[in-house]
Structure 1
């Protein structure tokens, strides 16, 4: 509540609330964001290090995936949370480049702090950063190269670049082949002939046991369910699959009802009718021609018995998401009533079989003709290994999808950032006014990526940055740092290639986060209400007066 006291505005805050204003508020926010950036900076590049994250329950995550590290970190600062939002956005849009976005965002704020100390207004800095970001976007479009998406070798280079530096790097050729096959299988043609890749159509199942090399792609679906009845076959070829979203059991009445049975004949008739109803369900499924039933709800024991007698495989309580993917994989339609099922609703697969993977049984629906949904079953020696392979595969699938949709890529290894810095500096010379300083600082900020790559690889960052700049000034736009040898080489020839979308999104998101944080000059934090010990309501146990029980 605001008021006036002798011409001075008064802001009435709750007791215990804190208010930070002006330069102090900016400095606090910038330092929080820089701390987040420095936490993930050492994970950048093929020789980046891993982080071990232990939560309050003692669960351990070991990874160098920027998005995962930031998601697992327990952070209170609102400014730091904004940086984490940046990572989430980049991960959702591009699948990779989260660490790059956060590190650039942190460096932009560090450079902005230098300008703030020179009494340059935050709005001037944000205006300069936006001009630089727009220029960077145009430069990225200019230096991007078209990719032949039918050439699997080109796609493999991009997928391999994504996994470089991660735990599962040793299997990068094997995993990249799986990722490319999976993404190509689910690629559809959208409006105007544009290619559309929805990686949600790739079902990923994790099974601890075996080794990473036993990870497999299923041209169809692998669902974590087992056949419901021991008398059912474990393998069916030329499968006709019924997808049913209805309970295969006797329905309960909508209203509360009682049935009074006065004789044994009435009871027998009641039970016989119940069995006939369930027998009709099994008969209806058999008449449709189905020999595999995937049910989203329950299947009664009697229905199971009749289906087993007819040699039909049945699975119950399948997830809704699995049912939708099964429809896309097999071409079947999900029916909501057994009576309505017909042959045209059935999906088709060359083989349906139950297999034991590690200690669990799974149902594999494979050899589907032109499936629009596929499955990947990830294997690994421990839970940590399986989780890390899943994170690596997620990045590979998203990145491969970006390339197939956009068809444009750029060189990695710090080549793009060095070229951006060079071209944005040239652009800054054409500007007048104080924005020029912000644009120059933007150019200096993006150089943090090649600098961090050199540091994380054990090389002198200044020497490598000077060599990189010299190569780019000679017109070698793909010159980058080889993290293993320390030499400046052509990254495109070396097969270090990244999607254009990843770089564009990283730069745009970093600038958006930095400008948002810079514009804040007042932080009002309300005091959190302290909960009593044990979570009980104030004043003792529930229902008691304050102070507990009165004396006798």
Structure 2
């Protein structure tokens, strides 16, 4: 055998390699499969998915990111799609399904371009140009809004929850979202910023969706440890401690030798005096309620009860921070450091029994910078779905308040972008023109999916929407309940500008990343070969 036919082994035995168009097609088809899984959940008439995990727990939802998180995908390209949805959810809290649908359509169109012998580099350049143009156009389509525009903010929250299980109570939920975001928004320079960590979400089964309420304060899971402590305090003056109300123990091992009873009594009396002094320090500062991050000695509990103070121990550090923001109290290390100016206030502190658990409600805080939403629902599944819906609503309201900009929904913005990109493609030359046209058609996947999921003829809807947009109706979108093309601004179907911007950016970047891959090398896993990717683990000598 001649030297020219001797194979050169460069990869470990069992390694699988896939290259060229086979690698591109398999990656694209894997990503499209994931996109098709969530496509039917898009819009108010979208379908639900039932997810069963390995333990048999059931989740019923049409929330795109929840579905994708529960999918145990193995293909690397499919994992990229899941990561896109997770990243978008962390940043915006909404738009994950739309991003994945557009990504799937971009990849589908790229297959046609690859079959037409358009090089991936030309496709990527065209997609990048189209994405930049879409973002530029999107900003020109934005409508001003702000923290004082409560009506628009409620409409934005309602739109985000249109496809959720809370449909019957969405007006109530939208109002809670707007009020809670407005309460914790902080003005910095000329713009507002919102930290959603300052909105405490507490979930409890029982009651109905409409029993979900916003509290101007914080809920602490627990109750006073001493039975003689008051269970309700009016016009409370609140002290927050980060250390224990206990006699401090030494950091090294120590022994005390007691030779007679009087010494024992003196030792016990010394501990009592120390604890009594701590309680007296709290009393002198004017505190009527104490929240301690660590433990409270039983004797200290007794002294606090004697003084008529309500106290809670082992409060989570995060809850203590929220209490500080809600009541305007300063967290101090020990009672000796406490002054009157460190105390917070609330109109009421009361212990309530919610279902079978006792919880302490610190409510009626003046101008709180942290608030609580108590979610109620008939079952665990309902409570979890309300939580997911409220999370979407809070996030979209946050984005609208921070950016002070919104766009119309119902597929109207996607269609207007498609029309503008088609015009842009006509101005371009070369093979990038075909990629830009493919990008424009991909944007129409949103109104098409909305129509299909609502049971309307997608082709007829697209034709009617194109006609309306050519006539200058930039906000013309699909009313999924009537099947007619209507003005989405007049129908109060609104979305934050940033959600749409991130949808376009995320879909474009992920599509470019997947299309660029032309070689997949899968290493052997354990004693068995890795997943079959096609190809060989060797390269013949040239």
After superposition, the C-alpha distances for 1:371-404 in whole angstroms (9 at most, x for unaligned) are 1110000000000000000100011111111111
Corresponding residue number in structure 2 for 1:47: 45
| Structure with the larger RCO, 1 or 2 (CA within 8 Å, 6+ apart) | 2
Match for residue 208 of structure 1 among 205, 216, 235? 205
How far the C-alpha of 1:261 sits from its partner, in A, is 3.2
RMSD in angstroms over aligned alpha carbons?
1.7
Distance 2:349 2:473 in 1: 54
How far the C-alpha of 1:170 sits from its partner, in A, is 0.4
How far the C-alpha of 1:228 sits from its partner, in A, is 1.6
Match for residue 390 of structure 1 among 342, 364, 387? 387
SS at match of 1:282: helix
How far the C-alpha of 1:530 sits from its partner, in A, is 6.0
Match for residue 143 of structure 1 among 141, 144, 160? 141
Corresponding residue number in structure 1 for 2:249: 252
The within-5 A match list for 1:385-424 is 385-424=382-421
Distance 1:508 1:300 in 2: 56
Distance 1:416 1:352 in 2: 48
Distance 1:523 1:161 in 2: 41
Corresponding residue number in structure 2 for 1:103: 101
Match for residue 440 of structure 2 among 440, 443, 446? 443
For normalisation by structure 2, the TM-score amounts to 0.94
Distance 1:16 1:340 in 2: 67
Corresponding residue number in structure 1 for 2:162: 164
How far the C-alpha of 1:357 sits from its partner, in A, is 1.3
Distance 2:21 2:263 in 1: 86
Structure 2: give runs of 5+ residues left out of the alignment: 529-542
Asked if structure 1 preserves the Cα contact closer than 8 Å seen for 2:408 and 2:475, the reply is: yes
Structure 1 pair 7/286, CA: closer, same or farther in 2 (3 Å)? farther
For normalisation by structure 1, the TM-score amounts to 0.93
Structure 1 pair 8/243, CA: closer, same or farther in 2 (3 Å)? farther
Distance 1:455 1:60 in 2: 27
Distance 1:255 1:406 in 2: 55
Asked if 1:373 corresponds to 2:339, the answer is: no
Equivalent residues, number: 526
Corresponding residue number in structure 2 for 1:128: 126
Distance 2:522 2:25 in 1: 16
Deviation beyond 4 Å, 4+ runs, structure 1 = 5-11
Asked if structure 2 preserves the Cα contact closer than 8 Å seen for 1:210 and 1:358, the reply is: no
Asked if 1:427 corresponds to 2:418, the answer is: no
Distance 1:340 1:16 in 2: 67
Distance 2:463 2:334 in 1: 70
Q: Which moved more, 1:501-510 or 1:112-121?
A: 112-121
After superposition, the C-alpha distances for 1:287-344 in whole angstroms (9 at most, x for unaligned) are 2111111111111111111001101111111111111111111111111222211111
Distance 1:260 1:7 in 2: 90
Corresponding residue number in structure 2 for 1:470: 467
Asked if structure 2 preserves the Cα contact closer than 8 Å seen for 1:183 and 1:199, the reply is: yes
How far the C-alpha of 1:406 sits from its partner, in A, is 1.2
Corresponding residue number in structure 2 for 1:499: 496
Asked if 1:62 corresponds to 2:45, the answer is: no
How far the C-alpha of 1:6 sits from its partner, in A, is 6.6
How far the C-alpha of 1:88 sits from its partner, in A, is 1.7
After superposition, the C-alpha distances for 1:348-374 in whole angstroms (9 at most, x for unaligned) are 111111111111111111111111110
Distance 2:299 2:433 in 1: 79
Asked if structure 1 preserves the Cα contact closer than 8 Å seen for 2:146 and 2:400, the reply is: no
Corresponding residue number in structure 2 for 1:300: 297
After superposition, the C-alpha distances for 1:194-216 in whole angstroms (9 at most, x for unaligned) are 11111111000001111111111
How far the C-alpha of 1:148 sits from its partner, in A, is 5.0
The within-5 A match list for 1:5-20 is 12-20=10-18
SS at match of 1:297: coil
